[in-house]
Amino acid sequence: MAGRELFNKMKVKAGIGSSSTESGKGKGKMSKHITYGFNLVKGKSNHAMEDYLVSEFKQVADNNELGLFAVFDGHLGHKIANYLQSNLFDNILKQHDFWSDPESAIRKAYQSTDDHILANTDSLGKGGSTAVTAILINGQMLMVANVGDSRAVICSNGVAKQLSVDHEPSKERKDIESRGGFVSNIPGDVPRVDGQLAVARAFGDKSLKRHLSSEPDIYTEIVDDKTEFLILASDGLWKVMSNEEAVDAIRNMKDAQSAAVYLTEQALSRKSKDDIACIVVRFK
């Protein structure tokens, strides 16, 4: 591994958030034509950076290679997003049925990870986090899972396709109400679970957990000759840019890091005030 790539990997795994902007890039060993780039930008809020990410390739048993990419957008503190960055993929990969039934493994790992977070609020706090994770298996298949409103969008043959679900309270009102909660509709504000949280699914949030879900939506995408690139980003990007706008903005940019930087810069130019985490994975 080249020195710069190792440094970038160490930065991401250590937990970015100490400065206003962090950026990096890398590529696969087995799938050398697949590259990734990332960029994080601190928002204008007074609290510390609450967006974290993972962006790396990992060689595993039996000559397999996994691309591990994720964005975690914390709220009411950064500790849970930081915990997810360090632990969620490990929890997925140690499931005994990961290779035989990856969807089941992902669901179980999301649940067990949330259970641990809820049992350790003394150290992790009472906040929460969204998550969007993408596992690229041997450069051939993508497994995307998410809770909350961090989003995955893939470009195939120039067409944008969303691979995640924005878990908005207004869309899951019946489920929230069936658990005893309610969705507020205050003029000038977004719908919120119990008048507090603007997403219907999240890790953590112990005080709201009876009315929230941490069940991920999961989508499988086969990578083929038409697959161009994948974007993972927090809502600091998606609040001000549509899927199609994001895809069109970087389609002709071959350097994944430059593409990630450009998307965050475009979001800032459109007056996004939130933290922004963005990963671009190029397949050709």
Q: Which residues of the chain have pLDDT under 70?
A: 1-20
Residue 142: which residues within 8 A CB-CB, separation 6 or more? 134, 135, 136, 154, 163, 220, 221, 222, 223, 230
pLDDT of residue 49: 84
Task: Indicate the fold that domain 3-166+208-282 takes in CATH.
Answer: Phosphatase 2c; domain 1 (3.60.40)
pLDDT of residue 135: 99
pLDDT of residue 31: 82
pTM above 0.85, yes or no: yes
pLDDT of residue 20: 59
Count the alpha carbons within 13 Å of 66 in the hemisphere toward its beta carbon: 20
pLDDT digits (tens, 9 = 90+) for 116-135: 999 999 999 999 999 999 99
Domain ranges of the chain: 3-166+208-282, 168-201
pLDDT of residue 48: 77
